[in-house]
Amino acid sequence: MTQELILNQRIVLASRPNGAPTPENFRLEREALPDLEDGQVQLRTLYLSLDPYMRGRMSDAPSYADPVEIDAVMEGGAVSVVEQSRNPNYKPGDLVVGQTGWQTHSISDGALLQAVPKGLPSESMAVGVLGMPGMTAYMGLMDIGKPKAGETLVVAAASGAVGSVVGQVAKLQGLRVVGVAGGADKCRYVVDELGFDACIDHKSENFAEELKQACGDGIDIYFELVGGKVFDAVLPLLNPRARIPLCGVIAQYNAQGVAEGENKLPLLMRTLLTKRALMQGFIVYEAYGHRRDEFITAMLPLVTDGKVKFREDVVDGLEQAPEAFIGLLEGRNFGKLVIKVSNA
């Protein structure tokens, strides 16, 4: 049997960024896919997820995961459809999620693939509210944040993939929820559509004061995604026994060398001590990978019943991924950023 020649398009890491990534750090390549071996499946990418953590993979600084090698395909999770299968667990047409990278096609042995949950309004949600970002939000909030009705939670990037889920789930738990987002449009969406109690524009000149006004009873949970000036404004508002789940510091990802400004480490330590506060870094699949079923069971009905809303910023075409990713780190997206790579 003759196999049709499949041309894979992929985006590789051309060079490591100094500071913010630029288009020159990426390169689009084409290659013929090799023939399938026994046990393998061939996948066609439908939706590629773009997430801030990918900035870390572009650097060779020590981190929790190995960096992407120069000339290797950029790492990323995606929803794909099985096109060919020599693996008994998969058949053509199956929808799967996997860490298949920035490319139009991929070949997998199936071991790390997961089925797309049934009943989703859109398959892309399997890399969004029901994928890594949603699970990061849910597990970090429930397991580290330990929300209690009546408490106040603050989350930044509140219109984004993680922040929007954190805030809505916290509202369902009976908390007062204050978001932080960039610009009036996003803030309006966070309050009017997502149902947060308030949302503060971090571009406002009086940001710290406005945040304080919105948190009259202090802050019990700060879900940390961004670092930087939001963290500075949150610190003096923390209540005794505050919890800070920490899953990202977007504001720092492009930073180079020595950080700017005065040394705030002593202030942080004094605050954690006098407030008896907890700060815990986590990487969702490492910490909670074994609890994915529990997460899906809890979150799927919330999404299908409309109790947790989820906005996507869909960009068409793999070749747009570098520019879209650069915009993501600058907060130019509005909602979960996904690249539509091909049609189902």
Nearer Cβ to its own copies, position 148 or 270? 270
Closest by Cα among 50, 105, 52, 43 to 338: 50
**Min separation Cβ 315 and its own copies, Å:** 27
How big is the CA angle at 15 (ends 10 and 319), to the nearest 5 degrees? Answer: 30
Q: What is the torsion angle, in degrees rounded to the nearest 10, for the CA atoms of residue 118, residue 121, residue 127 and residue 132? A: -80
Shortest Å distance, C-beta 284 to its own copies: 10
When the beta carbons of 117 and 163 are compared against its own copies, the nearer one is 163
> What is the tally of helices (H) and strands (E) in the chain?
10, 15
Of the pair 270, 332, the CB lying nearest its own copies is at 270
Cα-to-chain-centroid distance, residue 142: 17
Contacts (Cβ under 8 Å, ≥6 apart) of 172: 302, 307, 308
Distance CA 182, CA 197 (A): 17
Alpha carbon dihedral 250, 256, 258, 260, in 10-degree steps, equals -60
Closest separation in Å from C-beta 331 to its own copies: 18
Nearer to its own copies by Cβ, of 236 and 335: the residue is 236
Q: How far is the CB of 294 from its own copies (least distance, A)?
A: 20
Closest CB to its own copies among residues 207, 285: 285
Helix boundaries (H) for 235-291: 265-274, 284-288
From the CB of 120, what's the least distance to its own copies, in Å?
Answer: 29
Shortest distance, position 250 Cβ to its own copies, whole Å: 11
| Pick 277 or 318: Cβ nearer its own copies | 277
Contact residues: its own copies, CB under 8 A: 56, 62-64, 224, 227, 231, 240, 246-249, 252, 255, 258-283, 286-287
**153 near 145, Cβ under 8 Å?**
yes
- Closest contact distance (angstroms) between CB of 245 and its own copies is 10
Torsion region of 91: left, alpha or beta (phi above 0 gives left; psi -120 to 50 gives alpha):
beta
| Closest residue by Cα to residue 221 from 197, 195, 204, 240 | 240
Nearest CB to its own copies, comparing residues 243 and 336: 243
Q: Is the Cβ of residue 183 or residue 281 nearer to its own copies in the bound state?
A: 281
Work out how close the CB of 50 gets to its own copies at its nearest, in angstroms, rounded to a whole number. 19
CB-side neighbour CA atoms (13 Å) of 4: 6
Q: Which residues contact 23 (CB under 8 A, 6 or more apart)?
A: 322, 323, 326
